[in-house]
Structure 1
Amino acid sequence: MSLTSDRLLASGVLFLCTLLVGTVPVYLFQYWNRRRTTRTVVITTNESNKTVLSANFYVQLVTQIGGGILFFTVLAHMIPEIRENFDKYMASNESFIRVEDKSEFVKAIQPLNLPFLELSICLGFFAVYLAEVLMHSLLDSHDSSNNLKEEFYDFDKKSQISSVSTSLESEPSVVQNTKEDEPVLIAIRCHKSKCDISTHLHNVIKLEPVYIRLIHGLVIISAFSIHSLFDGISIGVKTSTPEIWTMFIAICSHKLMIALILSVELYEKCLNFVLVVFLMVLFAIMSPIGIIAVVLAENSYDLNGEDNPFTIFLSAMASGTILYIVFFEILQKDRATKLRPIVQFIAIFIGFALMFLVTITMKED
């Protein structure tokens, strides 16, 4: 089998494995979650909006373990690798501080000795921060136009709802449930002075608009997709069959874990299996694109190595983006409301230690 065939086979296997790991567990969780009988009461007023995600103990536990995995991946894998490539570039004759024909901008900033790598990481951090701010501003604008608020109350399966009341502009409304064996959803929807009361025998949760959830999902996978693209290039530039499959195994060891955690996080954000599948397809296809790009451009471009400034800059920005996701989207206490603080700490540490063991094992091999 030729090197091209090995590379294409590796790209196909990597795509299928990533897609399966990123979608099948979410589908199973969604199927299991539908079979559960819970009681949810939705009270809608006109003040603000609260969105309940998949508040499940096991989902939150896996997400926190994933936070530990991503924490190790960024600080102990991505950033040191980028630093090594950056040092190689700065020591080469092609670096912007060594070329003879320097631009006026380079001449001006060279005496400052700026930490370019760290600034690129911060740029990625603030870029995704800005994207989050703009997205939430758009969402708040959408909600203010509807002038709605939803609050969610979860009741124990065996508890009985005797009454629900609201103190709004209108008179308080009381809804009673006398059937203890049936899950019930009571929605009191109020807009200004008018209230509509509806009861359903299943859980209905007010969702953000689809385009908002899609944008949020795209923000989450963007950094991982860039890194996955470079993972594919790393496989594609190998010049022997053993090297190709060794690199394939090394990349799978962390990419499949990230795919699992990423899919859970996407489901928490999107609450839509179809959206999760679409986003996971985008994530899974990036590494094959990197491999195929090497195959197509092998005779025209020098893609052998990651020590060029464009790759370094994008990788550093991806690291900053993932740091934001880890600290602001996963590890915050309000993302683990079902977990005790010590359980959250243990889960994060387990994820970190698991990735550490995988890294040590791969280096020994």
Structure 2
Amino acid sequence: MESSTAKAIAMLTLGLGSFITGMLPACFSESARQRHPLFISSLLCFGAGVLLSTSLTHMLPEAREKLPDYSELMLCVGFFIVYLVDEIVHFFYQPSSLHQERRSYGSSEETGLLSSQRDSRDGELRERCCGDADNPRMCHVSHTEPCNKSSSGVIGLLCALFVHSFLEGLAIGLQENASQVLILLGAVCSHKFVVGFCLGAELMASAPGRLCPHIVSVALFSGGSVAGIGAGAGLESVSALKDSVAVSIMQALAAGTLLYVTVSEVLPRERARWHERRRSAGVAQFSSVCLGFGVMYLLTMYLDHDA
């Protein structure tokens, strides 16, 4: 088999495979999500564990190979970039949101009553959880879901995964014989399909019922590896990037982005939704995060293409 044929097979396999796995979570019906909400939450926590492991045990070590002294710094820079973008979006969005909220709450006595009742319940919950004379228990988890008014977290997640997919595809496209291409293809597929499914699950949670944005996002993720393979196979000058420090910088920045999305978006949201609803939910979520982390770690350790 010629290397060009092997690269064409790799493009088709990675493109279609990651698109199918990314679209699988969208096949869950709305009724199924309502009947099994804890299962969906555990699935999202599994995805958070996969993303956490991808960031810290897969992408960061790759960045450290060519950038040993500044890889951790670049990871933090990526983390703070998404943090800053998130705060900028909220800064410009919040004034109109608050104005709209005040106007809607002040439109009728009924909505005002509902608002006061909700505030009363929230106040009682805060008193009960933060500790008082009757119940001194301390809570370390917020019972309010993180603000979900902006899509910066999902956009950051998609950008990070696209960059990582492109770089992995580039590594495949730069190979000179068919056997090396197929070996790398198997290694990349082993974790790319898992990450694609987790991306689809997160898109399903962030924008339920919106199929077109889901398709576009998954298509962009799937096209990252295809574009990388095509660039590596078609442009000889791209081979200079293989040992470039720019690749490591992009890997580290993408790792920081995934870290922010995981610890500041996905996990706080899912923990807040279930912390007061069912005591066993926290154990199920923790187990799902550990399982996702462990699965991705084992795939990285034993099937990584750099091993």
TM-score w.r.t. the length of structure 1 is 0.65
- Deviation sequence 1:307-363 (CA, Å, 0-9, x none): 312111111111111111111122226546236222221111111222233234426
Cα 1:292–1:363 shift into 2, 3 Å: closer
Moved more, 252-261 or 331-340: 331-340
Contact 2:47 2:198 in 1 (8 A): yes
Contact 2:173 2:233 in 1 (8 A): yes
Cα 1:356–1:117 shift into 2, 3 Å: closer
The residue type paired with residue 98 of structure 2 is S
**Match of residue 49, structure 2, among 68, 75, 78:** 68
Aligned pair 1:346/2:283, yes or no?
no
Cα 1:337–1:244 shift into 2, 3 Å: same
Aligned-partner Cα distance in 1 for 2:33–2:170: 44
Give the alignment of 1:239-278 within 5 angstroms. Answer: 239-271=176-208, 272-278=210-216
Aligned pair 1:362/2:306, yes or no?
no
Moved more, 335-344 or 64-73: 335-344
The residue type paired with residue 248 of structure 1 is L
Q: Which residue of 2 aligns with 1:156?
A: none
Contact 1:7 1:236 in 2 (8 A): yes
Q: Which residue of 1 aligns with 2:62?
A: 81
Aligned-partner Cα distance in 2 for 1:241–1:59: 40
Contact 2:67 2:249 in 1 (8 A): no
The residue type paired with residue 296 of structure 1 is G
- Deviation sequence 1:119-145 (CA, Å, 0-9, x none): 211111111111111222343234234
Q: CA deviation at 1:35?
A: 6.7
The residue type paired with residue 232 of structure 1 is G
Aligned pair 1:135/2:76, yes or no?
no
Q: Which residue of 1 aligns with 2:79?
A: 125
Stretches of structure 2 lacking an aligned partner (at least 5 in a row): 116-147, 275-279
Q: CA deviation at 1:149?
A: 8.5
Aligned-partner Cα distance in 1 for 2:222–2:59: 19
Q: Which residue of 1 aligns with 2:226?
A: 288
**1:302 aligned counterpart, secondary structure:** helix
Aligned-partner Cα distance in 2 for 1:21–1:253: 12
Contact 2:74 2:249 in 1 (8 A): yes
Give the alignment of 1:101-112 within 5 angstroms. Answer: none
Cα 1:125–1:2 shift into 2, 3 Å: same
Cα 1:247–1:36 shift into 2, 3 Å: closer
Moved more, 280-289 or 341-350: 341-350
Give the alignment of 1:1-365 within 5 angstroms. Answer: 1-26=1-26, 28-29=27-28, 32-34=29-31, 56-87=37-68, 115-147=69-101, 170-172=108-110, 212-213=150-151, 216-271=153-208, 272-298=210-236, 300-303=237-240, 305=242, 307-332=243-268, 334-335=270-271, 337-338=273-274, 340-362=281-303
The residue type paired with residue 268 of structure 1 is A
Contact 2:153 2:265 in 1 (8 A): no
Contact 2:164 2:254 in 1 (8 A): yes
- Deviation sequence 1:185-209 (CA, Å, 0-9, x none): xx99xxxxxxxxxxxxxxxxxxx88
The residue type paired with residue 58 of structure 1 is F
Aligned-partner Cα distance in 1 for 2:51–2:34: 33
Question: Aligned residue pairs: how many?
Answer: 267
The residue type paired with residue 296 of structure 2 is M
Higher RCO structure, 1 or 2 (CA under 8 Å, sep 6+): 2
Cα 1:314–1:34 shift into 2, 3 Å: same
Aligned-partner Cα distance in 2 for 1:172–1:363: 59
More strand by share: 1
Aligned-partner Cα distance in 2 for 1:363–1:301: 23
Moved more, 352-361 or 72-81: 352-361
Contact 1:237 1:303 in 2 (8 A): no
RMSD: 3.0
TM-score w.r.t. the length of structure 2 is 0.77
The residue type paired with residue 33 of structure 1 is E
Contact 2:173 2:228 in 1 (8 A): yes
Contact 1:15 1:285 in 2 (8 A): yes
Stretches of structure 1 lacking an aligned partner (at least 5 in a row): 39-54, 88-114, 151-166, 174-186, 189-207
Aligned-partner Cα distance in 1 for 2:62–2:23: 29
Q: CA deviation at 1:169?
A: 6.8
**1:239 aligned counterpart, secondary structure:** coil
Identical pairs, percent: 27
**2:239 aligned counterpart, secondary structure:** coil
Cα 1:222–1:37 shift into 2, 3 Å: closer
